[in-house]
Amino acid sequence: MSRGSFFKGLIIILLGLILLANNFQILPWSVWYEL
Question: What average pLDDT does the structure give for the chain?
Answer: 83
Diameter over CA atoms, the chain: 35
DSSP assignment of 2-20, as one string? -HHHHHHHHHHHHHHHHHH
The average pLDDT across 3-28 equals: 87
Return the domain boundaries, the chain: 3-34
**Core vs surface per residue 9-34: b (16+ CB within 10 A) or e:** eeeeeeeeeeeeeeeeeeeeeeeeee
For the residues 7-25, what does the mean pLDDT come to?
Answer: 89
Q: Which of 7-11, 13-17, 23-27 has the lowest mean pLDDT?
A: 23-27
| pLDDT confidence of residue 25 | 77
- Mean pLDDT for 13-22 is 88
pLDDT band at 21 (very low <50, low <70, confident <90, very high): confident
